[in-house]
Amino acid sequence: FTLNFVGILPRGIDNDVKKDWSDHALWWEKKKTWLLKTHWTLDKYGIQADARLLFTPQHKLLRLQLPNMKHMRVKVNFSDRVFKAVSDICKTFNIRHPEELSLLRKPRDPKKKKKKLEEAEEEALELEGPLLTPGSGSIYSSPGLYSKTMTPTYDSRDGSPLSPTTAWFGDSPLSEGNPSILAVSQPISSPDILVKMYKPQSLLDKAKINQGWLDSSRSLMEQDVKENEVLLLRFKYHSFFDLNPKYDAIRVNQLYEQAKWAILLEEIECTEEEMMMFAALQYHINKLSIMSSDNHMNNSEKEVDEVDAALSDLEITLEGGKTSNTMGDITSIPELADYMKVFKPKKLTLKGYKQYWCTFKDITISCYKSREEAHGTPAHQMNLRGCEVTPDVNISGQKFNIKLLIPVADGMNEIWLRCDAEKQYAQWMAACRLASKGKTMADSSYNLEVQNILSFLKMQHMNPDPQIIEPITTDINPECLVSPRYLKKYKNKQPGFVRDLISARILEAHQNVAQMSLIEAKMRFIQAWQSLPEFGITHFLAKFQGGKKDELIGITYNRLIRMDASTGDAIKTWRFSNMKQWNVNWEIKMVTVEFADEPSLAFICAEVDCKVVHEFIGGYIFLSTRAKDQNESLDEEMFYKLTSGWV
């Protein structure tokens, strides 16, 4: 049969006018598919004479909300799979490792009956660079501009390292004399902005947000994304590979912004002391971000050298940092031994903490009644492989607890360890974290982990000398630096008193970070965010096989967690390293995971396509295969094979 193309060509075409139709393609709306295989006949596609086909450009405008909450209008290929589209977007924004990001539909606040386009108030910047002119001669074919080996340049305004984005944006409004606009943090201008934004009230609300992740193996058009629709560009996988301040100024800033908003919108829990530390870092970053170029013009290179030295051991990687220069004795495994207070909250025989002589060898903690009995049989012994390690710290109250959830055949054993001092806590916490991954204290990252924990604790200290606190000024604006929860704590106080009280606490905490450079402060903020107990857990509502009620499945970079939907408590943990395979029954939306030495796990996804959960599991496994010695190109087919389920 023949197809009448007159019905699908745009109206008003003058045959005498030359126009480039190379970006146009046929879209079959009923089947939600692009007809991109031009060597196929229409019959092979299964198209009948009554089919309605749309002849439309593949590149269309999309409004992206970046992690810093700013909106930009970008031309995106609506026929590419989302994974490829995100990769192209990240190349335009000069963000390395695009596999860590994806697109998310904007969550709707259930309290609002009518959909309000708050984003319309934002001024959208339109990129006029590579995405509007795709093709073989585009920026995508210039590997020199997108390589971790590029020569870094530095912003004279703030001393932060930058990559040569000027060549990327050309005369775009994005440059405006400062091509690093995406690397500069913009302070929150008004508390009203925080009030208007959607805040999840419970774990179930957080799980509903994650329903909006787009399918990476399908195109935007296939997922009903419309031209000029608002989508959120976010770091989807919390596994930040090779985060290098020399080449990642934009990536670091956007990561900082995503962390900042997650804390302010209460998407992740933190203590009051931690909140004041985050507020102090924000305040410091805001101050440095708005400093004039005159203060940095003459010493930017020197500043960067100091940053390089300070951050030499601060790279954030999958396993916690760079290799230390001190190798130590590789033939022996370090051990810890000290008196510790141990508590088993689920055992009625122990009503409180009981002191034991505890030894930490390999990945096992042994508890003895006294030091003299350490050569005998321990009263308790715990193998920490696969356990959950959660900090419970209160600096002002001198409480340094480590909560352990240790997997056993019938669930989890809960053990609390109480340390007497910060140093002891840092050593034991670092050892527990490594042991949970099956690593010992002989691992090169142990000493770095101890120092990071001590540094994290130090930033939470309140300065005992009030005389060195700078006077309270109006530029602090505490309502923009802390989450609403901590403002409500003082709801019975006078507004002015509350403002001064919180401002004083922020300034007090600021003394611990005041000497940091801008890029170091951002890296410290990201590191502190990563240290929070709830960091990196993506929640989904699920019903487990054999369970009678809806529960939560939490997915992180290295494990699956079965969680109580009301409290968020971990019930059972499974590590990816112990996983043999996972399968999906697409008809009943059931995910089944098989393990090497324990019963299989099966759950049905509730209120979300099981493809989203499947992609998170496969995506994290894909990210774990990355290595620094490989080139920057990604094995897209391997990603689709691990995340699509049918490739």
Q: Kindly tell me if the per-residue pLDDT of 241 is higher than 70.
A: yes
Note the helical H segments in 146-299.
166-169, 191-196, 203-209, 249-264, 272-289
The verdict on residue 594 lying in a domain is: yes
Q: Kindly tell me if the per-residue pLDDT of 616 is higher than 90.
A: yes
If you average pLDDT over residues 202-213, what whole number do you get? 92
Distance CA 194, CA 265 (A): 7
Q: What is the pLDDT of residues 387-399, one digit of tens each?
A: 888 888 888 888 8
**Parent domain of 43:** 5-57
624 touches 593 (CB < 8 A): no
If you average pLDDT over residues 162-180, what whole number do you get? 40
Residue 342's pLDDT is: 92
The verdict on residue 43 lying in a domain is: yes
CATH number at residue 376: 2.30.29.30
Q: Kindly tell me if the per-residue pLDDT of 41 is higher than 80.
A: yes
If you average pLDDT over residues 274-281, what whole number do you get? 94
∠ at Cα 230 (209, 97), nearest 5°? 75
The model scores a pTM over 0.85: no
Could you tell me the pLDDT band of residue 286, with boundaries at 50, 70 and 90? very high
Distance CA 319, CA 213 (A): 26
* H or E, element range at 497: helix 495-510
389 touches 433 (CB < 8 A): yes
CA of residue 530 relative to chain centroid, distance = 9
| pLDDT greater at residue 12 or residue 549 | 549
Q: Which residues contact 204 (CB under 8 A, 6 or more apart)?
A: 541, 565
In the structure encoding, which two tokens stand for residue 538, read together?
A: 């993506």
In the structure encoding, which two tokens stand for residue 602, read together?
A: 């099966």
Question: How much of the chain exceeds pLDDT 90, in percent?
Answer: 42
Distance CA 503, CA 430 (A): 33
If you average pLDDT over residues 120-134, what whole number do you get? 43
Q: Kindly tell me if the per-residue pLDDT of 171 is higher than 80.
A: no
Please tell me whether residue 125 adopts helix, strand or coil conformation: strand
The verdict on residue 243 lying in a domain is: no
Distance CA 554, CA 476 (A): 37
Q: Which residue, 401, 421, 441, sits at the end of a domain?
A: 441
Q: Kindly tell me if the per-residue pLDDT of 40 is higher than 80.
A: yes
Distance CA 202, CA 205 (A): 5
| pLDDT greater at residue 394 or residue 301 | 394
Q: What is the pLDDT of residues 531-540, one digit of tens each?
A: 898 999 999 9
Largest CA distance in the chain: 98
Cα-trace Rg, the chain: 27
Which residue is listed with tokens 């100024």? 249
The verdict on residue 533 lying in a domain is: no
Q: Kindly tell me if the per-residue pLDDT of 323 is higher than 70.
A: no
Residue 218's pLDDT is: 95
In the structure encoding, which two tokens stand for residue 437, read together?
A: 């991954």
Q: Which residue, 33, 57, 81, sits at the end of a domain?
A: 57
Q: Kindly tell me if the per-residue pLDDT of 119 is higher than 50.
A: no
The DSSP code sequence of 242-269 is: TB-TTT-HHHHHHHHHHHHHHHHTTSS-
If you average pLDDT over residues 6-24, what whole number do you get? 62
Could you tell me the pLDDT band of residue 137, with boundaries at 50, 70 and 90? very low
∠ at Cα 264 (125, 105), nearest 5°? 50
Q: What is the pLDDT of residues 43-95, one digit of tens each?
A: 888 888 888 999 999 999 999 999 999 998 999 999 999 999 999 999 888 89
Which residue is listed with tokens 């995406």? 182
Residue 390's pLDDT is: 87
Could you tell me the pLDDT band of residue 16, with boundaries at 50, 70 and 90? low
Least confident of 69-83, 137-151, 250-264, 492-506: 137-151
Q: Kindly tell me if the per-residue pLDDT of 159 is higher than 60.
A: no
Residue 344's pLDDT is: 84
In the structure encoding, which two tokens stand for residue 51, read together?
A: 């089919």
Distance CA 278, CA 528 (A): 8
The verdict on residue 621 lying in a domain is: yes
Could you tell me the pLDDT band of residue 308, with boundaries at 50, 70 and 90? low
| pLDDT greater at residue 192 or residue 27 | 27
If you average pLDDT over residues 461-482, what whole number do you get? 64
Q: Kindly tell me if the per-residue pLDDT of 321 is higher than 80.
A: no
Distance CA 422, CA 396 (A): 12
The mean of the pLDDT values for the chain is: 79
Q: What is the pLDDT of residues 340-354, one digit of tens each?
A: 999 887 644 546 889
Residue 575's pLDDT is: 87
User: Strands 101-105 and 230-235, how do they pair?
Assistant: antiparallel
Q: Which residue, 426, 441, 456, sits at the end of a domain?
A: 441
The verdict on residue 101 lying in a domain is: no
263 to each of 67, 194, 224, 366, how far by Cα in Å?
13, 11, 31, 37
CATH number at residue 45: 3.10.20.90
Least confident of 86-90, 326-330, 342-346, 545-549: 326-330
The verdict on residue 277 lying in a domain is: no
Q: Kindly tell me if the per-residue pLDDT of 235 is higher than 90.
A: yes
145 touches 162 (CB < 8 A): no
Residue 356's pLDDT is: 94
The verdict on residue 324 lying in a domain is: no
* CB half-sphere exposure, 281, CA atoms < 13 A: 25
Domain count, the chain: 3
Q: What is the pLDDT of residues 351-385, one digit of tens each?
A: 688 999 999 999 999 999 999 998 899 998 999 98
CA of residue 478 relative to chain centroid, distance = 25
